[in-house]
Amino acid sequence: MTLRIAFVTAEPFTQASGVRVVVESLSRELAALGHEICVFGVISNGSPKELPDWWRGAKVQTFSERIVKTFGFSNQICARLAQFKPDVIHVHGIWTFSSIAGMQVKRATGASLIISPHGALSTEALKQSTHKKRLAMAFYQHKCLMAADGFHVTCDEEAQEVLSIAPKAHVQVIRNGVDADANTIRPMTARKKRVLALCRLDPKKGLENLISAWKHMAHHRPDWTLELRGPDRNGYINQLKALAATCTTGQISFGGPLFHAERDAVMADSKLFMLPSKNENFGLTAAEALSVGTPVIAATGTPWSGLIDQSAGWWTDNTPEILARALLHATSLPDSTLEAMGQRGQDWMLRSFRWKDIAADMSGFYTDITRCPAQTKPTAQELCQ
């Protein structure tokens, strides 16, 4: 069943964004399945207006942001979205005008509305800008959520977050994917004794606990380094650097974000990858590290328990003491053991996380939603009861 699918999102060209990766990759593979798909994105001042050279997703229509910064308002997007005559409107992310546009065009055209919160309803996420989000939920976001015909989430925990707001919602768990190739894994003997963490420098990412853990174990591993890389959020890097400065061995370094081939190269040249987040609805960087054969240590606030089942890494509490024990154990293993773990991780990504397979699952979800008779879909009034 061929569908006309509209992706609606804010800032589609922000490289340091997991939502951008999903929109780009998923739209590309859905188009490859034969669907007619277009990405509708609102661009703020300072963001690229033209299609970047690195974009590999579906066709894009962009609109300049008006009036309120960060809200993503455009007075053109609703009309252009309606002109596209979509069968499915898939809104990626919440708290911006994208949610309102999706709801309004659904009502005007009868299209099915799907929302992917992308982790925005988690407890940790709701702790940030709490008052603004409460106002947004009261004025428009709750109505937008209630208007959805279905929700796409990436783990069971995120499904429960949606159901706590909309108990009768149609929620589908479909994992994100990764661009994995069956390339030869770089030998561990040729890699740096480096533990890499690549993420937004943000309090929810658990980096303070990781630095504290490193302080506990660094003197046992003087030849290993910890490298933290990613875009800074509101000057948080200064707190992290101050904490790192108390680690007398000087083995902790910081750097900016990495993208595409450069990211893969640094991941493939590290012996271990860390994902110490307090909460993640997915954690794309873990999949990216595994795809190049790098074992991962992930916190239990992330949906990566499969690391244990696949013998491809560790899934542990993110307290400093327990992280330190995991790091001590992982860095004590011979290269041959780490290399075998890395190979199992890459095999897992190739087997279960290819974007083309994720797109096929999403296509089936869209078809189910569009075929659902209107009378069987919960109404907004029913969902609010």
Residue at 218 is within a domain: yes
Please give the tally of structural domains in the chain: 2
User: pLDDT (tens digit, 9 = 90+) per residue, 69-128?
Assistant: 556 678 889 999 999 999 999 999 999 999 999 999 999 999 999 999 999 999 999 998
3-state secondary structure the chain: CCCEEEEEEECCCCCCCHHHHHHHHHHHHHHHCCCEEEEEEEECCCCCCCCCCCCCCCEEEEEECCCCCCCCCCCCHHHHHHHCCCCEEEEECCCCHHHHHHHHHHHHHCCEEEEECCCCCCHHHHCCCHHHHHHHHHHHHHHHHHHCCEEEECCHHHHHHHHCCCCCCCEEECCCCECCCCCCCCCHHHCEEEEEEECCECHHHCHHHHHHHHHHHHHHCCCCEEEEECCECCCHHHHHHHHHHCCCCCCEEEECCCCHHHHHHHHHCEEEEEECCCCCCCCHHHHHHHHCCCCEEEECCCCCCHHHHCCCEEEECCCHHHHHHHHHHHHHCCHHHHHHHHHHHHHHHHHHCEHHHHHHHHHHHHHHHHHCCHHHCCCHHHHHC
Range of the domain at 335: 188-352
End-to-end CA distance of the chain: 34
Q: Is residue 182 part of a domain?
A: no
Q: Is residue 293 a part of any domain in this protein? A: yes
Residues 330 and 362 in one domain: no
Q: Which two tokens stand for residue 145?
A: 């959520």
- 34 in a domain, yes or no? yes
Look at residue 374 and tell me whether its pLDDT is greater than 60.
no
pLDDT, position 54: 86
Per-residue pLDDT averaged across 153-176, rounded?
Answer: 96
Instruction: Give residue 131's pLDDT.
Output: 93
Q: How far apart are CA 330 and CA 337, in angstroms?
A: 10
- Which of 53-67, 95-109, 279-293 is predicted least confidently? 53-67
Are both 117 and 239 inside the same structural domain?
Answer: no
| 380 & 348 share domain | no
Dist CA 269 CA 95 (whole Å): 38
The candidate with the shortest Cα–Cα distance to 93, out of 141, 135, 155, is 141
pLDDT band at 384 (very low <50, low <70, confident <90, very high): very low
pLDDT-derived band at 279 (thresholds 50, 70, 90) equals very high
Q: State the pLDDT at residue 213.
A: 96
Please report the pLDDT score of residue 138 as a whole number: 95
48 is a domain residue: yes
Residue 92 lies in a domain: yes
Query: What pLDDT, on a 0 to 100 scale, did the predictor assign at position 269?
Result: 98
pLDDT tens for residues 299-324? 999 999 999 999 999 999 999 999 99
Please indicate, yes or no, whether residues 51 and 156 belong to a single structural domain of this protein. yes
pTM, two decimals, is 0.91
Within this chain, do residues 28 and 169 fall inside the same structural domain, yes or no?
yes
The three state secondary structure string of 108-150 is HHCCEEEEECCCCCCHHHHCCCHHHHHHHHHHHHHHHHHHCCE
Q: Do 306 and 377 belong to one domain? A: no
- pLDDT of 200 > 50? The answer is yes
Residue 381 has pLDDT above 80, yes or no: no
User: Above 80 in pLDDT, residue 267?
Assistant: yes
Please compute, for residue 125, the number of CA atoms within 13 A of its CA located in the half-sphere on the CB side: 16
Assess whether 141 and 207 both reside in one domain: no
Whether residue 141 is found in the same domain as residue 74: yes
Residue 183 belongs to a domain: no
Same domain, 256 and 311: yes
Instruction: Judge if 135 and 161 occupy the same domain.
Output: yes
Are 100 and 211 members of one domain? no
pLDDT of residue 373: 58
Sign of torsion, CA 353 356 360 362? positive
Write the CA distances from 336 to 188, 190, 331, 340, 342, integer angstroms.
7, 12, 12, 6, 10
CA atoms within 13 A on the CB side of 246: 11
Residues 38 and 152 in one domain: yes
Residues 359 and 30 sit within 8 Å (Cβ to Cβ): yes
**CATH classification of the domain holding 364:** 3.40.50.2000
Q: What are the backbone angles phi and psi of residue 64, rounded to the nearest 5°?
A: -75, 140
285 is written with which tokens? 């960087």
